Amino acid sequence: MSLTPQPDPFLWVNNVNTTLQEDMRGVPQNIAYYDADDGFQLGPNDPRITALLQVPLNLFRPHVVSDFHETTLDPKWTVVTTGSGSTLLGNGVLTFRTGTTNGSGVEATMPNVPMPLVPGTRIYFYLTTLPNGNLDLKFGIKKDANNVIKFSRVEDNTAANYRAKCMAGGVETNASTTAPGDSVRRFFCISMTSAGVNFYVGNDGGQLMLQANIQTNVPSGVGKAYIKFFNRYAVNRDLELDVVYALPIR
């Protein structure tokens, strides 16, 4: 068997990727290329794809993980309770408990983990609400009250679907999703890209599904990961936070 020499290499201009492969959904995904600022990107920029590598590439990016397996609260978090709100650690989850006083709840933030609001920043949440109804849930990345990227669920007696929201300078873009507000433990992902902000929610089988893309009122600056959970009636509501996985751009 003889090999035919390849006298000329394949040559493509910078930041034009022609080396793609379709994923299981038939969507073309990146294999490898050099981007516009001379960075080498190996693999797709799609949170549904798992990159299996033999060497620990891209360790220059922070991987900030809280899985709440410790006996005390992860010191990266600051917790503020209101009214009868409280938290409880156990079985590998941080439980947010509103108590039975109306308008009570908990807000938790990672104040010392900067999350630049730029393409490439991404964050995952894995959580369960128990039970549904009469609750106000928000989580994502917040710079301040007027500059936020978040999932939101506000409901009275009947469970409501999650909504995707971006707010810049107090002006909000609000997108609906088909992700139900139920007691199924679900993955959530917020991924900032050059084409806006993608919002993913896991289906009952755990696969992340793109639910919304928002391109307007995307805030800038540096935010913090946060989750806020309150009741809307004089009844206790619980939320179990299993994992928060943040990948900010350094």
In order, the DSSP letters of 132-171 are -SSEEEEEEEEEETTEEEEEEEEESSS----EEEEEETTE
Class of CATH domain 64-247: mainly beta
Q: Tell me the pTM.
A: 0.86
Asked if residue 183 lies in contact with residue 129, where contact means CB atoms within 8 angstroms, the answer is: yes
- pLDDT by residue (tens digit) across 64-81? 999 999 999 999 999 999
Tokens read off for 194? 């050059």
What are phi and psi for residue 216, nearest 5 degrees? -115, 155
Domain spans, the chain = 13-46, 64-247
pLDDT above 90 (res 10):
no
- pLDDT by residue (tens digit) across 210-236? 999 999 999 999 999 999 999 999 999
> Which conformational region is residue 36 in: left (phi greater than 0), alpha (psi within -120 to 50 degrees), or beta?
alpha
Positive or negative, the CA dihedral 164, 143, 125, 92 is: negative
Tokens read off for 132? 């549904």
